[in-house]
């Protein structure tokens, strides 16, 4: 009986470029799905000419650095390498560059954009060549951000618990119009239903540093039972915490000080 063939990179050390693509995938899919039978893991394995089991183990290595997983007493795989940790530290402070680097590497290797797609955003592509390229990068950032946020909150509105993917929005705490620095940062995001995304964007709700919902006085004093039933009932309630990428306290403070109507 013929021996089972091994991927061409069997036994080889992971390169920086490979680790960037693995970390990009780690951010996009739920940790519980970082398994060798996940189609996205298999796709990356083929791109890197490695086994799905090898890719899954590397995703588990990244999990060992994740503070939110540790808080939940979920342990990543041990024996992570020094370069793994360097990639984690480097791109946790520069999410925009992670997105562009991963896009460039996938393109060079002939792969697709990632688990999410540009089609998952609602941004239209303009006509000019330079505008197309700029908008393409915008869509890449948006696709990464949406995948990272939805996977972190397990595709559920963190206020209402709604689990209809088509109705969920990856909401920026600090919007792009204020700073593009945080546009791909999953710590700058919340998973909200379309209604609560609009309420958050317009400053009619916000979150405390303890991740409890604050509804504006304007709504709480409204003479409308439907507003109280649909919105005010969540005042003081804790949100559903994400599995990863906890909202940044400083970003939430910025929202309370600059957007929330009080």
Handedness of CA 176, 179, 183, 186 (dihedral sign): negative
Average pLDDT per block of 10 residues along the chain, 262 residues long: 53 92 96 94 95 95 88 74 93 95 92 54 45 73 96 97 96 93 96 98 97 97 94 97 95 98 90
The pLDDT score that the predictor gives to residue 81 is 84
Instruction: State whether 165 and 79 are in the same domain.
Output: no
Domain boundary among 69, 88, 115: 115
Give yes or no: residues 106 and 30 share one domain. yes
Q: Are 81 and 14 in contact (CB under 8 A)?
A: yes
Q: Which residues pair with 170 in a beta bridge?
A: 191
Single pTM value for the model = 0.86
Residue 190 lies in a domain: yes
Residue 78 lies in a domain: yes
Q: Which of 55, 90, 115 is the last residue of a domain?
A: 115
User: What range does the domain containing 159 cover?
Assistant: 152-258
Helix (H, G, I), strand (E, B) or coil at 191: strand
Looking at the fold, whether 182 and 102 belong to one and the same domain comes out as: no
Question: Do residue 104 and residue 182 come from a single domain?
Answer: no
Q: Say if CB 100 and CB 184 are below 8 A apart.
A: no
pLDDT attached to residue 24: 97
Is 224 inside a domain boundary? yes
Instruction: Report pLDDT for 116.
Output: 52
Does residue 83 share a domain with residue 26? yes
User: Is residue 189 within a helix (H) or strand (E), and if so which, with residue range?
Assistant: strand 189-193
* Terminal C-alpha separation, the chain: 73
Residue 5 within a domain: no
Residue 8: predicted pLDDT = 63
| Residue 209 forms part of a structural domain | yes
Distances (CA, A) of 117 to 113, 147, 177, 229: 6, 9, 23, 36
For the chain, what is the domain count?
2
Question: Do 194 and 109 share a domain, yes or no?
Answer: no
Alpha-carbon span 82 to 1, nearest angstrom: 40
> What pLDDT, on a 0 to 100 scale, did the predictor assign at position 3?
44
Rounded to an integer, what distance in angstroms lies between the CA atom of residue 149 and that of residue 28?
A: 8
pLDDT at 112: 66
């Amino acid at each position: 009986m013929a021996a089972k063939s091994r991927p061409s990179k069997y036994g080889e050390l992971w390169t920086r470029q490979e680790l960037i693509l693995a970390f990009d995938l780690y951010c996009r899919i739920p940790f519980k799905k970082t398994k060798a039978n996940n189609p996205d893991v298999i796709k990356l394995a083929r791109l890197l000419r490695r086994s799905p089991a090898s890719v899954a183990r590397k995703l588990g290595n990244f999990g060992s650095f994740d503070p939110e997983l540790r808080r939940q007493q979920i342990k990543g795989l041990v024996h992570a390498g020094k370069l793994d940790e360097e990639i984690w530290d480097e791109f946790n402070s520069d999410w925009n560059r992670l997105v562009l680097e991963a896009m460039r590497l996938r393109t060079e290797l002939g792969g697709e954009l990632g688990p999410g797609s540009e089609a998952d955003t609602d941004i239209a592509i303009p006509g000019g060549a330079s505008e197309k390229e700029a908008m393409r990068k915008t869509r890449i950032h948006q696709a990464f951000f949406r995948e990272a946020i939805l996977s972190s909150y397990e595709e559920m509105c963190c206020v209402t618990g709604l689990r209809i993917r088509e109705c969920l929005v990856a909401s920026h705490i600090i919007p792009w119009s204020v700073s593009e620095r945080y546009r791909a940062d999953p710590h700058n995001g919340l998973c909200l239903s379309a209604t609560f995304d609009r309420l958050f964007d317009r400053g009619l709700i916000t979150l405390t540093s303890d991740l409890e919902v604050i509804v504006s006085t304007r709504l709480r004093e409204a003479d409308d039972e439907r507003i109280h039933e649909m919105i005010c009932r969540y005042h003081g309630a804790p949100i559903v915490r994400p599995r990863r990428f906890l909202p940044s306290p400083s970003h939430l403070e910025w929202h309370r000080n600059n957007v929330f109507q009080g």
